[in-house]
């Protein structure tokens, strides 16, 4: 992230349609960044249908982001800790939605960028004034959708709004994959305007539902779950694409190339090329393209195409 040492990055999580995994993505992406050693805050700016608090077990918080926007509480009162992740939940009281002002949103985001490496804005679904204000306060937008046509259509409309607001779309996340529906990820990414940006599939995973019942992000609850692996991969990719790795926090252990004879670390100019930690076959499998005979042809076609991109 450019200037990460002085100011954090505000990432809005947006969708054109509800029920596609937007809040789940916001919470677990934040959790994945926390596990990588960054500080992260997730704010519930889905002002009409707030449910962020319930995702992390904050069903009756003392103060919410609606209280801040309504002038009833200071920002710090609405910030709650959840396993190292800071959450600003929204209110489920209808009257609180009615008196929530959107003018303070930009100032809230600006303040939190001085305190956190990553500020995730869980924006509402659809097209409205409060959603536009939230997206405009972000440095970048991550679109979340399923691979079904209605969700893709609505997501593309959100993408058009983001473009008009002159906020970059940093990528797209496809949730609930695993049944062969994601058969043309390149074409879908092009339609959403995310060509060249991160595009990740999150497999349908029972562990996610179990973690919601526990009030805990699946990244914290089930380390080896397929969804956890996918969310961590998303975080790692965003770290690179958004420049976070230029100011990565120090860690006790990390990968380094060593001389097999001496055991000493190799200098930068003597290190081999990058390591692809995830086999391409695994990526195709997680997208669900080889689970059904009907889509085996598409899976093989995509595997060969991706290999050709990497010269394989």
Residue range 50-73: average pLDDT? 87
Strand, helix or coil at 248? Answer: coil
pLDDT digits (tens, 9 = 90+) for 188-236: 555 555 555 667 788 888 998 899 888 899 999 888 899 999 899 999 9
Higher pLDDT, 139 or 200: 139
Categorise residue 73: left if φ over 0, alpha if ψ from -120 to 50, beta otherwise.
beta
pLDDT score of 180: 37
CA of 100: how far to CAs of 112, 119, 122, 235, in Å? 19, 20, 16, 31
Task: Give CA–CA dist 282/70, Å, rounded.
Answer: 48
Q: Which residues contact 305 (CB under 8 A, 6 or more apart)?
A: 186
Domains of the chain as residue ranges with CATH: 9-247 (3.40.50.300), 279-312 (no CATH)
Interval 80-107: pLDDT, tens: 998 889 999 988 776 666 677 888 999 9
pLDDT number for residue 285: 58
**Predicted pLDDT of residue 88:** 93
Predicted confidence band at 312 (pLDDT cuts at 50, 70, 90)? very low
Q: What pLDDT is attached to residue 232?
A: 92
Residue 298: CA atoms inside 13 Å, Cβ hemisphere, count? 19
State the pLDDT at residue 212: 87
Question: Is the sign of the CA dihedral 300, 176, 1, 123 positive or negative?
Answer: positive
Average confidence (pLDDT) over 281-306: 51
pLDDT above 80 for 10: yes
Residue 133 has pLDDT above 70, yes or no: yes
- Short-list 147, 226, 149, CA closest to 185: 147
The 10s digit of each residue's pLDDT in 273-293 is 544 445 555 555 555 555 444
């Amino acid at each position: 992230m450019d200037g990460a040492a002085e100011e954090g990055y505000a990432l809005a999580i947006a969708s054109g349609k509800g029920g596609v995994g937007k809040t789940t993505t916001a919470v677990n992406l934040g959790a994945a960044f926390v596990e990588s050693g960054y500080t992260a805050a997730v704010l519930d700016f889905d002002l009409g249908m707030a449910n962020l608090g319930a995702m992390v077990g904050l069903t009756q918080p003392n103060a919410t982001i609606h209280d801040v926007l309504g002038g009833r509480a200071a920002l710090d009162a609405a910030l709650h800790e959840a396993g190292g992740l800071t959450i600003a939940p929204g209110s489920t009281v209808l009257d609180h939605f009615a008196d929530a002002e959107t003018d303070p949103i930009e100032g809230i985001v600006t303040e939190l960028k001085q305190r956190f490496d990553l500020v995730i804005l869980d924006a509402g679904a659809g097209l409205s004034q409060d959603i536009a204000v939230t997206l405009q306060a972000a440095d970048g937008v991550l679109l979340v959708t399923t691979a079904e046509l209605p969700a893709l259509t609505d997501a593309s409309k959100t993408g058009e709004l983001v473009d008009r607001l002159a906020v970059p779309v940093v990528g797209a996340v496809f949730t609930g994959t695993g049944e062969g529906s994601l058969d043309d990820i390149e074409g879908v990414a092009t339609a959403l305007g995310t060509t060249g940006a991160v595009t990740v599939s999150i497999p349908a995973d029972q562990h996610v539902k179990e973690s919601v019942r526990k009030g805990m992000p699946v990244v914290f609850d089930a380390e080896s779950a397929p969804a956890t692996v996918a969310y961590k991969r998303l975080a790692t990719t965003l770290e690179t694409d958004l420049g976070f790795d230029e100011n990565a926090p120090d860690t006790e252990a990390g990968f380094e190339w060593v001389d097999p004879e001496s055991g000493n670390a190799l200098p930068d100019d003597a290190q081999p090329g990058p390591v692809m930690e995830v086999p391409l076959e695994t990526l195709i499998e997680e997208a669900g393209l080889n689970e059904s005979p009907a889509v085996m042809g598409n899976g093989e076609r995509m595997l060969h195409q991706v290999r050709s991109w990497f010269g394989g």
